[in-house]
C-alpha cells in the first residue's frame, strides 16, 4: 500500500513524492518500551494510522487490541480495567483481553459483530512489538537482535521522541552518517572526516529475504567524539572510529560503534565500544515515533564513575539536532513540493532501503 503524504499546515493539501510514505504491514513495529505499559492499566499508541490499545494481563502477558469501541468508536484507552477486561467509558460495553465482547448493558445476549480487532504482540528485550499485517504471517524469527536493550554487559537509559515528519525521512537520516560531521559537529561528530569517509552498504538477509541494509563506515585520524567525553573524559590524540550497523525493516538500527587510539589499537583503557538500538515507527503518514538507547560497556561506567543520565543528556541533545534538521527539511519540501532532489553517492543506502520498503509495500498491496 502506497500512501501519499498530505500536509495541511497552511490549510491546503500538499503532496510531494519525496515524502510519500509506503507502509509495510507484515513486520514487527516497536510500539513501546516495556516500562511504558503499566500493570493493571491501559496504554494507547497509534501505529501506521491505527490506534492500538495495550494492556498487561494479571499473568504479565500483553494483549493488543484496536483502541476503538466497536459500538460508537470511543477510545477504549479512556475506559476502565476490570481484571483482565476493559469496560468502555461511554456506554459500558465490556471486552476481554482477546477482544471478545462480554457484556452490553441493557441487553441479555451480546449481538454479533462487536468483537475487537486484535494484533499479535511480543515483548522482546524491553521493546514491545506489534504485527500490523496478516496475523498468520507473524513470525518471531523476524524480531531484531536488540540485545543491548537489556544485557548485563551494557548500560543505557531508554529514550523516546515524537516527530512531526513522515518516518522515511528519519530512516534516511539514520542510513547516512555523513550528517554527523555537520548536524552533530559538537556532539556525536567532531570531525568533517566522518562525512568524507566511504560508506560500504550490503543487503541484510533472513534466509533468502532481504530485510535491510548493512552499513560500514570507518574513519581514521580523528579526535575522540565530543559525546564520548560525557562518559569517558580525558580521551586525547587521534582515533580510528567505526560505525557498523544493520538497518532493518521496518526501521530498526542495531549498531556497534566506537574507536581506539591510532597509536595504540590494543589500549583497552582508551578504547570506546558502544552498542545502540533505535527504532522508527510511523504513527501516521506525517508523524513518527522514535525509540532509542545508546549503550556503553558497564566497565566504562565503573571506570569513569559517570552515570547513564549524563550520557543520555548529550545523546538527547544530538537527537534534538536531528529532529530540528529533519523537521526543517520536511517543511521546506512541503513549501516547494515540485522541486526535484538530486541524488549523490551519500544516498546509496537510503536509496536501497526505500526501494526495499516500496517493493514490499507494493507486493502487499497486490
* Nearest residue to 168 via CA among 339, 13, 326, 338: 326
Select the binding partner of residue 359 from ligand FES, Fe ion, none (C-beta < 5 to 8 A, by kind).
none
Nearer to ligand FES, 53 or 93 (CB): 93
Select the binding partner of residue 322 from ligand FES, Fe ion, none (C-beta < 5 to 8 A, by kind).
Fe ion
Q: Which residue is nearest to Fe ion (CB)?
A: 322
**Sole window of 21-29, 37-45, 145-153, 317-325 interacting with Fe ion (rule: CB under 5 A):** 317-325
Distance CA 306, CA 185 (A): 23
Grid coordinates given for 32: 513501546
Q: Residues 93 to 122: which contact Fe ion by CB under 5 A?
A: none
* 4-12, long-range: CB < 8 A, 24+ apart: 4/285, 5/166, 5/285, 5/286, 6/285, 6/286, 7/286, 7/334, 9/331, 9/334
Report, in Å, the least distance between residue 69 CB and ligand FES: 3
**Sole window of 85-93, 116-124, 184-192, 281-289 interacting with ligand FES (rule: CB under 6 A):** 85-93
Q: Residues 88 to 127: which contact ligand FES by CB under 6 A?
A: 88, 90-93
| Beta strands per DSSP E along 149-208 | 154-155, 159-163, 199-206
Radius of gyration of the chain (CA): 22
147 close to 255: Cβ distance less than 8 angstroms: no
Residue 1, classed as helix, strand or coil, is coil
Q: Residues 304 to 323: which contact ligand FES by CB under 6 A?
A: none
105 close to 87: Cβ distance less than 8 angstroms: no
**Sole window of 86-94, 111-119, 185-193, 233-241 interacting with ligand FES (rule: CB under 6 A):** 86-94
Report, in Å, the least distance between residue 164 CB and Fe ion: 17
| Residue pointed to by grid coordinates 522541486 | 339
* Nearest residue to 118 via CA among 93, 135, 139, 143: 135
Residue 134, classed as helix, strand or coil, is coil
Report, in Å, the least distance between residue 84 CB and ligand FES: 18
One residue of 6, 66, 74, 122 binding ligand FES per CB under 6 A: 74
Nearer to Fe ion, 84 or 347 (CB): 347
Total site size for ligand FES, rule CB under 6 A: 9
Residue 362, classed as helix, strand or coil, is helix
Q: Residues 54 to 73: which contact ligand FES by CB under 6 A?
A: 69, 71-72
Q: Residues 132 to 191: which contact Fe ion by CB under 5 A?
A: none
Nearer to Fe ion, 285 or 322 (CB): 322
Distance CA 91, CA 302 (A): 55
Nearer to Fe ion, 154 or 177 (CB): 177
Report, in Å, the least distance between residue 348 CB and Fe ion: 18
Nearer to Fe ion, 97 or 315 (CB): 315
Beta-carbon contacts of residue 59 (< 8 Å; ≥ 6 apart): none
358 close to 365: Cβ distance less than 8 angstroms: no
Grid coordinates given for 86: 476493559
Report, in Å, the least distance between residue 101 CB and ligand FES: 10
One residue of 45, 154, 322, 360 binding Fe ion per CB under 5 A: 322
- Residues at the site binding Fe ion, with contacts judged by CB under 5 A: 322
- Residues at the site binding ligand FES, with contacts judged by CB under 6 A: 69, 71-72, 74, 88, 90-93
Amino acid at each position: 500500500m502506497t500512501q501519499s503524504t498530505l500536509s495541511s499546515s497552511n490549510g491546503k493539501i500538499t503532496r510531494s513524492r519525496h515524502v510519500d510514505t509506503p507502509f509495510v504491514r507484515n513486520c514487527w513495529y516497536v510500539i513501546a518500551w516495556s516500562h511504558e505499559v503499566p500493570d493493571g492499566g491501559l496504554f494507547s499508541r497509534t501505529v501506521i494510522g491505527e490506534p492500538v490499545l495495550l494492556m498487561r494481563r494479571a499473568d504479565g502477558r500483553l494483549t493488543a487490541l484496536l483502541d476503538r469501541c466497536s459500538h460508537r468508536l470511543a477510545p477504549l484507552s479512556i475506559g476502565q480495567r476490570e481484571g483482565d477486561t476493559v469496560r468502555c467509558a461511554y456506554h459500558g460495553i465490556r471486552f476481554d483481553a482477546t477482544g471478545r465482547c462480554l457484556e452490553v448493558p441493557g441487553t441479555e445476549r451480546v449481538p454479533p459483530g462487536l468483537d475487537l480487532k486484535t494484533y499479535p504482540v511480543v515483548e522482546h528485550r524491553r521493546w514491545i512489538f506489534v504485527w500490523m499485517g496478516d496475523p498468520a504471517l507473524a513470525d518471531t524469527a523476524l524480531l531484531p537482535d536488540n540485545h543491548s536493550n537489556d544485557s548485563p554487559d551494557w548500560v543505557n537509559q531508554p529514550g523516546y521522541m515524537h516527530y512531526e515528519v513522515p518516518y522515511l525521512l528519519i530512516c534516511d537520516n539514520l542510513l547516512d552518517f555523513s550528517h554527523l560531521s555537520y548536524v552533530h559537529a559538537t556532539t556525536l561528530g567532531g570531525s568533517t572526516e566522518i562525512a568524507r569517509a566511504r560508506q560500504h552498504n550490503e543487503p541484510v538477509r533472513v534466509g533468502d529475504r532481504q530485510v535491510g541494509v548493512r552499513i560500514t563506515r570507518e574513519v581514521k585520524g580523528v579526535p575522540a567524539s565530543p559525546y564520548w567525553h560525557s562518559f569517558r573524559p580525558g580521551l586525547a590524540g587521534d582515533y580510528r572510529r567505526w560505525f557498523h550497523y544493520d538497518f532493518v525493516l521496518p526501521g530498526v538500527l542495531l549498531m556497534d560503534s566506537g574507536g581506539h587510539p591510532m597509536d595504540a589499537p590494543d589500549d583497552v583503557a582508551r578504547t570506546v565500544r558502544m552498542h545502540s538500538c533505535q527504532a522508527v515507527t510511523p504513527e501516521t503518514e506525517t508523524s513518527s515515533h522514535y525509540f532509542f538507547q545508546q549503550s556503553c560497556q558497564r566497565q566504562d561506567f565503573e571506570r569513569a564513575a559517570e552515570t547513564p543520565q549524563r550520557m543520555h543528556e548529550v545523546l538527547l541533545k544530538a537527537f534534538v539536532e536531528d529532529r530540528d534538521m529533519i523537521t526543517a527539511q520536511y517543511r521546506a519540501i512541503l513549501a516547494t513540493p515540485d522541486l526535484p532532489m538530486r541524488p549523490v553517492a551519500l544516498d546509496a543506502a537510503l536509496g536501497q532501503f526505500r526501494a526495499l520498503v516500496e517493493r514490499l509495500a507494493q507486493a502487499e498491496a497486490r
